[in-house]
């Protein structure tokens, strides 16, 4: 199965992703991505509940979307989200908190400082 996400700007499409299917019987479905559904889905999917109660409430929302045809595009992702345990979500929350301080970190400055330190330590680095 191939999913292609594009903004249609013409009634003539060029879809090179479909070349392997030339000569095969396929079903092509076009479904409009509703921005409010997309935004609602990703906002909830990105949320990492902090308590078991919040986690259970989130699962109820995800379960309701799993039977809502507006969210059909997201059903495979919903299945994955519903399969997660609270412990799994807590681990991701810990990782997110740990890297949160790197948001404005200047990695280039770090590399430049290391290069400078090595050069002045007698180690010649180009």
pLDDT 10s digits, 58-95: 999 999 999 998 899 899 999 999 999 999 999 998 98
Percent of the chain with pLDDT over 90: 40
Strand runs (DSSP E) across the chain, as ranges?
Answer: none
> Which residue is it, tokens 């399969």?
83
d(CA 78, CA 65): 8
Q: How confident is the model at residue 124 (pLDDT cuts 50, 70, 90)?
A: low
**What's the pLDDT at 96?**
84
d(CA 37, CA 121): 57
Task: Tell me which DSSP letter residue 101 carries.
Answer: G
Q: How confident is the model at residue 4 (pLDDT cuts 50, 70, 90)?
A: confident
**What's the pLDDT at 125?**
52
Consecutive H or E run containing 44: helix 35-46
**What's the pLDDT at 67?**
93
d(CA 92, CA 89): 5
Length of the chain: 126
Question: How remote is the C-alpha of 20 from its chain's centroid?
Answer: 26
Please choose, from the candidates 114, 103, 108, 94, the residue with its C-alpha nearest in 3D space to the C-alpha of residue 50: 94
What count of Cα atoms within 13 Å lies in the side-chain half-sphere of residue 32? 3
Q: How confident is the model at residue 35 (pLDDT cuts 50, 70, 90)?
A: confident
**What's the pLDDT at 88?**
94
């Amino acid at each position: 199965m191939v999913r292609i996400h594009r903004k249609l700007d013409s009634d003539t499409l060029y879809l090179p992703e479909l070349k392997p299917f030339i000569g095969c019987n396929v079903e092509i479905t076009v479904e409009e991505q509703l921005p409010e559904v997309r935004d609602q889905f990703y906002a909830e999917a990105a949320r990492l509940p902090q308590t078991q109660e919040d986690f259970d409430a989130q699962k109820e929302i995800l379960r309701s979307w799993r039977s809502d045809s507006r969210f059909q595009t997201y059903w495979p992702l919903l299945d994955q989200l519903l399969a997660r345990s609270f412990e799994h979500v807590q681990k991701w929350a810990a990782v997110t908190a740990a890297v949160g301080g790197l948001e404005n970190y200047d990695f280039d400055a770090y590399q430049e400082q290391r290069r400078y330190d090595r050069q002045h330590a007698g180690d010649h680095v180009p």
